Structures are given as C-alpha cells and as structure tokens.
Chain A
Amino acid sequence: MDNASLDSPATAELQSFLEQEKQRAMLNELVAKLTDVCWDKCITGSPGSKFSSSESTCLTNCAQRFLETSALILRRFQSMQQ
C-alpha cells in the first residue's frame, strides 16, 4: 500500500498496540486453559450458589501447580534435547 510509509509514527503506534494486544491475548488464553483444567479438577459436585473455601483454595493452588508443572516439564524436556 502506498498510503503510508512503513516507518511512519502511525505504523509504530499500531505495531506497539498489536504487540500489547498479543500479550493480552496470550494471557487470556492461559487463564482460559487453566480455568478449564482446574474447574474439572476442583469442582466435583454440582455447582452451588457460592464456592466453598476448599473449592476456591483448590482453584488457586491448581493454577499455581499447573504453571509449576509446566516449568518443570519444560526443563526436563530441554535437558533431554542436549
């Protein structure tokens, strides 16, 4: 397109906007994935009108442990490739 040079201020602004939205989308994706997995693990009965404290603690722990597991497997995986 010849309507704007590629390094115009407007293009730079758009690029940083897109980068920021990409980060946000990745975070949303991660939260959606964790909620999916942790819901199945922690909410075993039929959903009540309020979470029990053990359910909400389970959700919080589940998210943390999932991230930890992911880091652990990543390290194992990397050491296997050497």
Chain B
Amino acid sequence: MDPYSSSSQSGRSGPSPEVLMDQVKQQLAQAYAEEFFGTLREKCFAKCVTKPGTSLSGSESSCISRCVERYIEATGIISRSVLSSMPR
C-alpha cells in the first residue's frame, strides 16, 4: 500500500503518476462496490424476507433477484435525474 516502498528502482523516482492513479481508481471502485453491496443486502432483505423461515423460499429468492435489478435501475434513474438538474 505504501507507494514509495513498492517502487522497484528503490526510491529514486517512485511509481509513475499513472500507476498511482490506477491504484486510487481501483481502491475507490472496491470501496464503492462494497458499499453498494451492503445497501442492496439491506434494502432487498427488508423488502423480500419479511418473515424469515428455516431457509430462503423460492419466492423470496426471486424477489431478491428482481429487487437487485430494480435497485440498480433506480440508481440509474436517480443519477440521470440529478445530472439533468445540474447546470452545464
């Protein structure tokens, strides 16, 4: 994780900006995916598993699949709505 020690040519110039930027992008994408997963789990569990039984039923599982698809779609709708209300 230390960008200075991960350089192969010990400390003279360090990793290039491109390498650092890639690392930052990857870490941001990872953090975003984890947070999104957590939200999906919370929202779809609340919607689809209203009375937890001894296992997930077929209808609960298919509700969860639809819920995940709809939540992703909702994110796109909201995103477009926000962008359309921004200047420029």
Q: Which residues of A line the B interface, CB within 8 A?
A: 1, 3-4, 10, 13-14, 17-18, 21, 25, 27-28, 30-32, 34-36, 38-39, 43, 46-49, 51, 56, 59-60, 62-64, 67
CB-defined A-B contacts under 8 Å, sample of 30: A1-B4, A1-B14, A3-B12, A3-B13, A10-B17, A14-B17, A14-B21, A17-B24, A18-B24, A25-B28, A31-B79, A31-B82, A32-B36, A32-B39, A36-B39, A36-B43, A38-B78, A43-B74, A46-B66, A47-B47, A47-B70, A48-B70, A49-B66, A49-B69, A59-B77, A59-B81, A60-B81, A63-B81, A64-B81, A67-B85
Binding site secondary structure of chain A: helix
